[in-house]
Amino acid sequence: MATARADPRKGDAALARQALTDMLGPRAEFRPGQLEAIEAVLRPSSKVLVVQGTGWGKSIVYFVAARLLRARDAGPTLVVSPLLSLMRNQVAAASALGVGAAALTSENHGEWDDIQQGLISGHLDLLLVSPERLAYGGFRRHFLQQLPRGIGMLVIDEAHCVSDWGHDFRPDYRRVVRLTRETQRHVRVLATTGTADAHVVADLTEQLGEDLTILRGPLDRPSLRLQTIRLDQPARRLAWLSSALPRMSGSGIIYCLTRFDTEVVSDWLRRCGIDAPAYHAGLPPEERQRREELLLGDKCKALCATVALGMGFDKPDLAFVVHYQRPRSVVDYYQQVGRAGRAIPEAYGVLLTGAEDHALASYFAGTGFPPAECQRAVLEVIEGRPGLTEGQIAAHVNLPMDRIEQCLKLLRADDAVSWRAGKWYRSRLAWTPDHDRSAQIAARRLAEMAQIEALTRTQGCLMEFVGRELADPCSAPCGRCANCAGPVLRVPIRRRAVRQAKRQVARRHPTIVPHTVWPAGLERPDETPIEPDRQMERGKALCVYGEPRLGRMVAEGKRRGTGFPRGLVRASARLIREWHPQPTPTWITNVPSLRQPGLVEGFARALARALGLQYRAALEKHADVPEQKHLLNDILQYTNARDSFRADRSRVLLASPVLLVDDTVDSRWTLTVCAALLREAGSGPVIPFALAAAIGTARP
């Protein structure tokens, strides 16, 4: 429905109030700061940054402003949003309020012509797109440049994504303002975010211009009661959860750092009679949606979730957020804990911290912003070549694939490379690496680790600490948190529950999932299937490398190189008997090593004796190649393994299932190649087993 023309006799404030009551009813009122933001962005050529806490209602600002601009005969509002799920929610919310809105995504290509006509005719007030969509020249030509009155307003939602200082940097966001101003120089710009510290605000000011109007509100959430609790052992944290959750009314979220931990926590709570399904990016989209609906409908007590349950999820009556481990930064913590208590008088935010937190934080810090030398390495591979796929680039540069993708996005944001028909090309523009900025961002990530650790140790007000770190000018003691008013929750940890949790953790072993395709690279432009009779079966790892007890025993055994302790043999034999892999192995072999030739073989022989199976040294390592842990992507790891192992057919127990043993598993390419060699040499099905899965890669 087209928006009615504005009454020229009324001022912006009166028109905004009228629009609000039209949307929400005659008794609706703006929250503090909303009307000020609307008036600011309605000014011609305005540039406004709104920093307000989660649940404040930033979308109301641009919904109302979009309606008023349309009533003035301005063009539609363009909203750049980072997530498809967030776009869906925003379209639904806008439509419910009478704002004509649509999203342009890869899922609704058949609707694009109708959407374009709705924008031109005035029936649509607002269009949502991803930053990547806006970067496409075709979108700008076929949509933006066809609008007779141009864009009325550009909204950059979750604007911290623009900043490479931010916790969720998206390189394509960097191009948003530049590309839009190329199309329409004086477009109004509204940037909104719930989390922007001083570094992010300074970077946004640099991106948007010094004439940026910054409107900040208090980040305190009066309903939230915060507490931090140090419980070093995972079993003690599990016991705390099983005791605490029945004491809390309503439903909530338990945040974990890894997919594996979401499954561990979920299994434990299920065993205790508490329904708390796991939620992570490894689940099919329809299953994630189903589990979200369970929580939204209070049909489960909690979701045990990674950050995959993030922007776009809104449950106003969420009663609690518990962190099973320390989050990566204070910004992450505020984003997550701020999902609780948006529309209820009291909610809990409890941060549990343990002994493994530092190792996990270090792992994730190393996967962040790619340094300048990585970007240069990728650019040098592309330079002078007639277009390369990402797989072909990976064959030439020792970087993880996700890091290569990050570099390509950054280089594309700088217009140093272009992407056409599935290949990357070097542009004619000069590119100079910014080593200082890369070093500053790396230092910033380390500082973030220190800040969140300091939060767990502070004796002062927790909410004030968070506000101070996020540059909230209104930060002050809250009077509600555990440090201000005493423990938020007094939860007994029963010894019996701790013992049961220890047994539960000991029985939870990472799964080794078989690869089903060979990686694309120089030899093959596309991934090709691994023949089913050459694939390994699903396997198990005893533990996660470096974690308390077993994980540390594995790490110490590898460091010493003189043999793994018998406790690992006994624990492995017990796991294999309880697991009872199918088909049942009749013999054992191991992945050989030239650097520590007796280490894994000695363990495999001892395991064979413990299980009463025959041991055969059926694999040979014939080339001294780099260790797999030093190679960082699938293609290099695959070719490294392929070029260094062979199977001795005379030592293979023909047509018999075999347990293939290694000390650690990470990428799974060594096990995948060795399994294929054994099958080609006449072995039966190959069941992989490793003492430990690498931290951060363990699979449920």
478 contacts 484 by C-beta, under 8 angstroms: yes
pLDDT beneath 70: ranges in the chain: 1-10, 85, 135, 137, 164-169, 177, 179-184, 365-368, 522-526, 696-700
Instruction: Record the tokens describing residue 615, joined without a space.
Output: 């041991």
pLDDT tens for 522-564 read 666 667 899 999 999 999 999 989 887 899 999 999 999 889 9
Classify residue 154 by burial, with Cβ atoms within 10 Å: 0-12, 13-18, 19+. buried
Model confidence, pTM: 0.81
* Cα dihedral across residues 623, 625, 629, 632: positive or negative: negative
The one-letter code for the residue type at 75 is G
Give long-range contacts, CB 8 A cutoff, 24+ apart: 23-28.
23/63, 23/64, 23/97, 23/98, 23/99, 24/97
Model pLDDT, residue 635: 93
* Residues 6 or more apart whose Cβ sits within 8 Å of residue 391: 519, 520, 521, 525, 635
In the chain, what is the greatest distance between 2 CA atoms, to the nearest angstrom? 95
pLDDT tens for 372-397 read 899 999 999 999 888 999 999 999 99
Q: In the chain, what are the domains?
A: 12-216 (3.40.50.300), 224-363+459-505 (3.40.50.300), 372-437 (1.10.10.10), 509-693 (3.40.50.2020)
Model pLDDT, residue 171: 75
Instruction: Record the tokens describing residue 415, joined without a space.
Output: 């217009």
Q: Strand, coil or helix: what is 375?
A: helix
* Residues 6 or more apart whose Cβ sits within 8 Å of residue 352: 228, 229, 230, 231, 237, 240, 322, 323, 324, 325
Q: Measured between alpha carbons, how far is residue 108 from residues 89, 98, 114, 127, 286 in Å?
A: 15, 22, 11, 13, 17
Cα separation of 253 and 235, whole Å?
Answer: 19
Task: Please give the backbone phi and psi of residue 303, each rounded to the nearest 5 degrees, phi first.
Answer: -110, 135
Given the structure tokens 């057919």, which residue do they identify?
649
Residue of 262, 228, 692, 180 whose CA lies nearest to 489: 228
Cα separation of 264 and 324, whole Å?
Answer: 11
Q: Strand, coil or helix: what is 49?
A: strand
Cα separation of 665 and 194, whole Å?
Answer: 39
Cα separation of 565 and 5, whole Å?
Answer: 80
Integer Rg of the chain from CA: 28
Model pLDDT, residue 325: 94
Instruction: Record the tokens describing residue 156, joined without a space.
Output: 């950059």
Name beta bridge partners: 660: 589, 688
Cα separation of 156 and 625, whole Å?
Answer: 48
DSSP symbols for 344-364 = SS-EEEEEEE-TTHHHHHHHH
Helix axes of 435-457 and 372-382: crossing angle, nearest 10 degrees: 140
Specify the DSSP element, H or E, that contains 690.
Answer: strand 686-693
The one-letter code for the residue type at 134 is L
The one-letter code for the residue type at 597 is P
